[in-house]
Amino acid sequence: VKKVKKIAIVGGTHGNEKTGAWLVRKLMKAPGSVQRKGFETILRISNAKAVEKCVRYIEEDLNRRFNPAELADPGKNSYEALLAKELNEELGPKGAEKPAVDFILDLHTTTSNMGVTAILDSRDELAWQAAAYLQAHDPNVRIFTWKGDTGESDFVHSIAPAGFALEVGPIPQGVLRADIFEKTERAVQHILDFFEKLNAGTLEKSDAELEVYDSVTLLDFPRDEEGEIAGMVHPELQDQDYKLLKKGDPLFITLEGETIPYDQEEPLHAVFVNEAAYYEKGFAMSLSRKVRKPLP
């Protein structure tokens, strides 16, 4: 893996996920804490206005605005579309031969009980090595691969040649919790250590294979004829992220109290269970397949 010169730690991509934004603020006040030999770390609050208002976004989801066609479209001028173009100039540009940064870690939180999860969306070697390092130093870290709900990598970190999003939960939107903050901060420090060791050539040999949750599909809530949500995540599944669902297991419970079971033949793991931000997207959870994958 080649050495890095500059990386970026980004928070506040979703303005109501306070943890990343407040961690970036803390680190900005103590720049020594992100200083490592051999590379520079840029700290950035990506959607400061949304953070100030404590909303996910002003007009549309910033974390889906980095599609190359959209970045190049002068007609795309929502608040977040313009912000995406600005970030792309500053940290990218996306796909450039010599982008401003080599790696972006984008800090998110989830209302789901997912612990610390690295969301990988490419087979980029650097991102996988970093995620493997993170897991080796904190066995509770899980790795989830996902192309996003659009099937493309339109995420903030996609403007750099490598990177990933970190999801830490459970935490309500708009809330700071010391335990979630500390878990996120620890992960950031591990990632900085990884790059320092990578540049110095002192990386420990990591396992050749990783346990990975591969996203299979997104599942919507049960709905009535008007399209309104007609059921909730079943209490036996609530907070049980990464649980293996087998045919017949309780999945939803209707408002009238009727249990709707999981009906697929293949057992799959439930992730992002009842994530608050997915209500507007029409998802109740993601289903994933646990596999072992070699490092790229």
Q: Which residues bind Zn ion (CB under 5 A)?
A: 14, 17, 108
DSSP states of 44-57:
EETTHHHHHHTSS-
CB of 279 to Zn ion, least distance (A): 14
Whether 162 and 127 have beta carbons less than 8 Å apart is answered as: yes
Residue 108 vs 269, nearer CB to Zn ion: 108
Residue 64 vs 108, nearer CB to Zn ion: 108
Residue 17 vs 80, nearer CB to Zn ion: 17
**Rg of the Cα trace of the chain?**
19
CB of 248 to Zn ion, least distance (A): 33
CB of 156 to Zn ion, least distance (A): 10
CB of 283 to Zn ion, least distance (A): 14
CA distance 88 to 91: 5
CA distance 125 to 115: 24
Residue 65 vs 108, nearer CB to Zn ion: 108
Residue 14 vs 85, nearer CB to Zn ion: 14
- Position of minimal CB gap to Zn ion: 108
For residue 63, give the nearest of 90, 44, 83, 49 by alpha carbon: 83
Say which residues have a Cβ less than 8 Å from residue 55's Cβ, sequence separation at least 6: 15, 16
CB of 284 to Zn ion, least distance (A): 17
What does residue 242 show for φ and ψ, rounded to 5 degrees?
80, 0
